[in-house]
Structures are given as C-alpha cells and as structure tokens.
Structure 1
C-alpha cells in the first residue's frame, strides 16, 4: 500500500494513511515537515484565496500560499471571506436513478398488533418536565438488571424498563416552535414500536402540560400508555410506587411477544457520525452508505440528519431529490440554520470540533462532504423537520442539529428502530429504545476501544476490504441486531442518558 490516499484525480490534497515525515516522497512531491495520520498534504502549489479540493469538491480556500508537500490544515485553509457561501449547483433531481430491483431479506422482528415491527421490546418511563425526572428514574431503577440481575428474570422477552428524562418542559413558552418540538419528540417515543408500553410522569404545573400534550398529539390513555402527575399523586414516593405498580401490571403482557421472520422493509436506520476524523469520509461513512443502498433495495428506510454537518455538501443531496420541492425543502432548512447561527452570534463553521480537527478535518465543508457519504447513492425521497414521523420508505432526510444525542433523539422519535453511528475518535454512545451499532473508521481506534465498537471499517484503509464488502458486512450486522443480537453499547448499558430533545428558543 502507498502511505497516502488519493480520492480523486483532480484533488489538490492527498490523505496520509499513516504519519508522514519530512522528506518522504508522495507521488512526485516531497513532504515538508510532519503530517499526522488522516491529515492532508498539498499536491501542488496553491495560491492564497484559491479553492482547495478533496473528493473533487471545495473544502475551503487557501488563507496563504501553500507549497507542494506542505501540511494543509487550519493554519493555511479556511472557509473563505463569505464563510463558505460560494455558489453551489443544486441541479434538483439531476442524479435521480431508477429504483433498484426489489429484494427480500428478512430479520427476526417483533410484530405489534397494529402491524408495526419492533427490533426491541422495552417498557419506557418518560418525564414531561425536568422536575419529574427523579421520580421517573426511581420507577425504572426498581426494575434495573444492573442493580438486581434477577429483577426481570420472570420476563425474559422484555429488554428492560428505561427512564428517558430531559432538562426542559418548563421555563419555556406554552406555544411556539420550542414546545411543538418537545411535544412531537415525546409523542414519537410514546408511540415507538420498540416500546410495548410507556408511562409519562409529570409534575403538574409545568409549561408542558400532559393533557395538552395528549390533545395536541392525538393520543389518549390506554393499556399501553399511562400518564400521571406528582402533585396529583401525592408526592415523589407515592408517584414512584404508582409507577412501579403500573409497570408490574404491564410486564406479563409485554413478555408475551415472540420474534418471527419479518421483511427488512420494516427496518429504519438513523445515520449518525460523531467524533469524526480524516478517515470518516473514506472508510466508515461510504461503507455505511453502501449498506444504506442495500437496505433501500430491500424496501427499508434510512434517515440522514445533522444539518450543520451537511453544509457545503447539500448540493450532492438535492441532485438526488425525487421532486424539486424535496430539494427546495432541504435548502430552506440550510437557510434557516444560517439565520439561526447568525442570530446566536455563531457561524456554520463553529463545527468541526477540536477532536475533529485533531483527526485531520479542517472546515465544516470538508467534514460535510464526508458526512453525506453515509447516505449512499439512493434517491432522496423526502425531507422532514425534527422528530416528525417518517412515513416514506427509502432514503430520507430529517433536519436536526449536529450534536449526536439531540440528532438521534429526533430520528428515533421519527421512527428509527436502529442507529448506525460512525466514529474516528471514539465516541461512546447508545440510544434506548433503539440499538446503536458503532462503526470505527480506523484500525488504531478499533484496537484501542474495541469494547465500544461493533465493526472495524478501518480494514478499508488497511487495504483488507472494499467499501462494498464492508457495506455488505454492515447490512448483515444490521439484520442480526434487528433480530435481537445485543450491540456493544447495549452491553455497557448506554441509552437512558442520551435522550436529549432539541431545545429551541429562549429559556425563561
């Protein structure tokens, strides 16, 4: 193998496969100084102000002259004088392709009475407001296998009782975008197929009133949805006792499920990347994209999100939009984010994080071009706002922040029953009630943190596997996970603390 990776003949940079030292030869140039693994080295002389290309796409502009063989990073590459606002060719629908021939993979799923199919079987305890979080946790903790391994021994088909609490629900307007997002998120979890039943615990005087939430969400109490308030019940202890009794009544029915062969069309994957590095867009992300294309061919659904992390690459998605209005809705969300960050004295290039930069990423443009690779090559069927129910099958988009817990919370609220999460720096993450698969972008991470990673996509960098081979492997692991095989994050008990609804608007 060469010590570098060239992604496109027209690129201005190469990617170091391993650390390059001064004097090393790459193609027909000599490296000047130290270039860390995953970082970029210039292939030609680049004048100040000139665009720099990777993936044959603009990743930024030279902030000063760059010599051939020089390390290209934050010291000499930036977004440009207009913060990345250069012209993009949206070419709505130009790359739409015929639907793939249908295929029929299956997995062992749990079929609910309404026809939906689950990949897990939990009972959930949601809080309507931060004030009821402690009571909600007390209810779930009573059934915790971590504190009592025999707590659910009589109910082997129940994956657990989990409390999903949050830090909002009050100190906010009772009308407007913020409360609508919270209501939508809670409704998505309360009706998620991976929950047999859900309790919703409130305080009683919060802005997010449970009765108003039920009405706005077209929900009502029943066998699988119970709601109550601390103030009405008579305090924290009585609330916990009531919740425990309600869960105990649910457990026998929740346990009376069985797994059966189900079409892969019932799988909906939320696509995430966190702790990205210079290899993310070369290995794990395109491999996950290959798996997405396979899932779509089998009738399944994949949700790409993290709008601040597609900035500068959105034109690659609009070209795949099945209708012009789908592409235009995506651009409208980009414009919203530009206004939103400006109003909060920020900019779209607030992302990448320090860890991303240490791993070789320089600008959000570069990060985004690698991030969109998670979406494969399938047609873009629809664009959803945060936590909206995903109804279209195939490849879709949901507008979310780039912060992984907030983003995945919206995807799960929309119906994702599996999360696939790529990482190059080593993110630790889980997402109850949906299992989360962790995909390492490089073998050094896999060797260092294998207890958290499910698949090593670093084999692509090492020359041991192709993107398509790794995509097939990921797809097969998705089927196994959907069938009940536990992920590494599930084994560690991740999932309850990662429920983070998106807070928009003033905290009052």
Structure 2
C-alpha cells in the first residue's frame, strides 16, 4: 500500500500510513525530509508562510513559516487562527432514502408503558446532591449477585452519583443542566425502576424536580431525603427496602421484536488520533445513516469538537432555524471560553497531538464524520429530550463522560464510541460499543474494543462495509449481547452532569 494517505485532491498534506524514515519516497519525486511518526502529516507541496493548509479539502490551520514539500507538518509549523466560514444553511439538505417497512431491521428490546424502548433494564438510584452519594452507593452495593440472580431480566442496580446539587445558583444554565439530566435518567427507557435520594437542604430540591417535570411517586418511582429518614444507616435500610419491593415488577418484562426506528444512538469519540477521521468516524457515520434510514435517531455532540467544521453541519440543516440553533451554540462557546480565559484550540489534547492531530480545526473535521450524511433535523440543549427522529446534534463539552451523560439524558439507549489512542470508557444504563480506529490499538486493547476499523487501512475494507458491520453490532448489543465494557464491569463512575457557573 502507499506510504501516505491522500484524502482529497488539492490537499496540501497527506497522512503517514505508518512511521516514515527520512528519505522515504512517498510519491513520485517526493521524499520526506525528516522522520514522520505514524498518523502525522507530510507536506505534499511547498506551503508559503501564513498560508492556509488544507486537509479533507478544508482549512486545518495556517503555516507559521514556509513549509517545504516533504516536511513533517505538526504543532511546530502549523497553528490555529480564526477565519470566516460560510454557514450556507441548508444547501446540502436532501430527502432521506428511508427503508420501507419490509426492509426495516429489528432488534430485541424492552417496550415500556409509554411506548419507548429500552435496550437494558436497570434499577437506578439517582442523587439530587453530592451529600447523598455515599448512601446511594451503599444501597446499590446491598444488592449482591446472589439476590439479583433471582431476577434474570434485571441488568443491575446502579447508583448515579455526582459532585454538585448544592453550592450552586438555584436558576440558570448549570441548574437547568442538572435538572434535565436527572429528569432524563428518571424517565430513561433503559431504567425500569427509580429511587431518588436527597439530603434535604440542598439547592437541587427533589420536590422542584418533580413539580417541574410532572414526575409522580408510583410503584417504579420513589424518593426520600436522608434528613427525614433519620440519617445514613436508616436511609440505606429504607432505600434497600424500597428497591427490594420494586424487583419483581421491574423483572416482569421480556424482550420482544421492535423496529430499528426505536434506536437512539449516541455518537461519540475519545482519545482520537489522525486515523479517527479516516476509518472509524466515517464508518460510524455510515452506520448512523443506516440508523436514520431505518427510522431511528443518531445524536452527535461535543460542540468544541465540531468547531471549525460547523459549516459542514449547517449546510445539511433541514431548515434555516436548525442552522441558527447550531450557530447560536457556537457563539455561546466562543463567549464561554473567552470569559474564562480559555481557547477552543485548547482541544486537541496532548494524546490527540501525539496521534497526529494538530489543531481543533483538524480534529473537528474528522469528528463530524461520525454524523454521516443525512439532514440535521434538530439541535438540542444539553440533556434536552430528543423529540425528533433522525440526525440530531446536542450541545455539550468535549469531555466524553460529561458529553455522554447528556446524550443518555436526551434518550440515547446505545452509545457508540470511536477511539484511536485507546479508551476504557463504559456506560450505564446505555451499553457502550467501542470502535478502534487502527489495528495496533485494537490488538493492544482487544479486551476493551468491540470493533476494529483498522482493516479499512490494512486490507482495504470499505467504509460502507465497515458501517454495515457496526450497524449489525448495534442491533446485537441493543438485543442484549454484552459489549466489552459491560463484560469488564465499567459504567458506574461515568455519570458526570455538566457544571456551569460559580460554586458558592
């Protein structure tokens, strides 16, 4: 195979397929002038100082100084700058080619009373405040394997604890985020029964949540405050008693065939490398298109990781109003980082850069590939319920656990997570499927990786064929097959609501 990967005609750089020694001929008449690590960029043509540099046919940065053909292009000679990007709202929006009913795939899911479908069946303990975290964990731990073995349709008892809920404003963006997340988990289709535990004096009052979102106490939703229950030990005993009474009803469900239109898939990447935008992300994008064409929903997130590529999404917006919602979020992030003395180019991370990524522009262009090619039909606030079907975007930070917490709160019942450097992320209550962008990472971390996308480069497997493989994996995991992260027991510590605002 060729030593470099040229992604689009007219690009100024190509990607090294493997590590390149000085003097390696990578194209007729073109030799690298210095060692280039695997996944890093090589200049294909001379690039003038201050000139824009293109990859994927898009600007990924600007040359700090003149760059000769064959030079290694990375952080030492390429930098981020702001530049105008044309929103071009809706110009690439096209009718979606939906599958008909006879062609529509199915999976084995749990149909809930409200009609929504779960892929797992958990009992959940939600905490309104950090002060109730220990009680919640002890309640969950009081259900041992022997007890749960008597209830084979229950996937487990999980405590969703967090570090906020008090010392915060009782209104505003941070408070709204927390309330949407708690409400989203309380009504999530992967959760069959809920116990909410508060302290009693916190800012995030349980009574307010119930009133704001119309949640009522019932056989599968109970709540109490530690102060009223009589303290820690009394609360643990009370919580165990409440959940123990729920077990038979929560267990009294069975998987049944449901259409793939009931899939709500969170699209995520973490520990990205230069191969992410070449293999796993576009393959996941094809799988996301299949989900949408089967009538389901795919949710892209991580607003800082679409920065510089947002115009590719606004071009696919189903309406100017949808494009405007996305651009409003972009402007919010520009203001948010500025007032906190930050920079959106703080992302990529050190690991991303070791993997060949240089600027946020480059990372974002690879990241948006997870979103496939169908129309962008809505833009959600963090944790806002997904009411439309199709391809959606949810505003969130680029920090993976925090972002996915919001996607799950929005209704995602499966998570698909691409990684180049290697991630050990797991998720409850939505199973997480991990895709390795390269075969080295897959072989080194095979116990954590569900699908290897490195064969796209190694043996020429097509993006479409890999996308079909990923879609089949989504159906299998949604039907109950355990993902690698589930088999390893991951997912208890990844509930991280997005905190915004002063801690007071």
Q: With structure 2 as the length reference, what TM-score do the two structures score? A: 0.98
- Contact 2:420/2:436 (8 A) holds in 1: yes
The CA deviation at 1:395 is 0.4
**Number of corresponding residues:** 500
Hey, what's the Cα distance between the residues in 1 that align with 2:413 and 2:397? 20
Which residue is 1:120 aligned to?
A: 120
The CA deviation at 1:350 is 0.7
Which residue is 1:25 aligned to?
A: 25
Which deviations, in whole Å up to 9, do the C-alpha atoms of 1:62-117 show, x marking residues without a partner? 0111111000000000013xxxx211121110001112132410000111122111
User: Is residue 108 from structure 1 mapped to residue 108 from structure 2 by the alignment?
Assistant: yes
Query: What does residue range 262-281 of structure 1 map to in structure 2 within 5 Å?
Result: 262-281=258-277
Hey, what's the Cα distance between the residues in 2 that align with 1:402 and 1:291? 22
Which deviations, in whole Å up to 9, do the C-alpha atoms of 1:330-363 show, x marking residues without a partner? 0110000000000000011010000000000000
User: Is residue 333 from structure 1 mapped to residue 329 from structure 2 by the alignment?
Assistant: yes
Tell me the C-alpha RMSD between the 2 structures. 0.8
User: Is residue 256 from structure 1 mapped to residue 257 from structure 2 by the alignment?
Assistant: no
Which residue is 1:91 aligned to?
A: 88
Hey, what's the Cα distance between the residues in 2 that align with 1:316 and 1:155? 48
Once the two structures are overlaid, the 10-residue window that deviates more, 449-458 or 94-103, is 94-103
Hey, what's the Cα distance between the residues in 2 that align with 1:220 and 1:250? 16
Hey, what's the Cα distance between the residues in 2 that align with 1:177 and 1:45? 47
Structure 2 runs not aligned, ≥5 long = none
Query: What does residue range 187-202 of structure 1 map to in structure 2 within 5 Å?
Result: 187-202=183-198
Q: With structure 1 as the length reference, what TM-score do the two structures score? A: 0.98
- Contact 1:120/1:159 (8 A) holds in 2: yes
Which residue is 1:130 aligned to?
A: 130
The CA deviation at 1:151 is 3.0
Which residue is 1:466 aligned to?
A: 462
1:181 to 177, 180, 184: 177
- Contact 2:26/2:32 (8 A) holds in 1: yes
The CA deviation at 1:180 is 1.2
The CA deviation at 1:190 is 0.4
Query: What does residue range 5-16 of structure 1 map to in structure 2 within 5 Å?
Result: 5-16=5-16
Hey, what's the Cα distance between the residues in 2 that align with 1:65 and 1:159? 58
Hey, what's the Cα distance between the residues in 1 that align with 2:459 and 2:34? 26
The CA deviation at 1:221 is 1.3
Which residue is 1:35 aligned to?
A: 36
- Contact 1:187/1:217 (8 A) holds in 2: yes
Which deviations, in whole Å up to 9, do the C-alpha atoms of 1:348-396 show, x marking residues without a partner? 1010000000000000000000000000000000001000000100101
Hey, what's the Cα distance between the residues in 1 that align with 2:195 and 2:477? 26
The CA deviation at 1:287 is 0.2
Structure 1 runs not aligned, ≥5 long = none
2:206 to 203, 206, 210: 210
Q: Which runs of 4+ in 1 moved over 6 A?
A: none
Hey, what's the Cα distance between the residues in 1 that align with 2:344 and 2:281? 21
- Contact 2:268/2:404 (8 A) holds in 1: yes
Hey, what's the Cα distance between the residues in 2 that align with 1:204 and 1:473? 49
Hey, what's the Cα distance between the residues in 2 that align with 1:75 and 1:114? 56
User: Is residue 64 from structure 1 mapped to residue 65 from structure 2 by the alignment?
Assistant: yes
Hey, what's the Cα distance between the residues in 1 that align with 2:239 and 2:374? 45
Which deviations, in whole Å up to 9, do the C-alpha atoms of 1:202-226 show, x marking residues without a partner? 0011111111111122212111111
- Contact 1:183/1:217 (8 A) holds in 2: no
User: Is residue 409 from structure 1 mapped to residue 410 from structure 2 by the alignment?
Assistant: no
Hey, what's the Cα distance between the residues in 2 that align with 1:352 and 1:426? 15
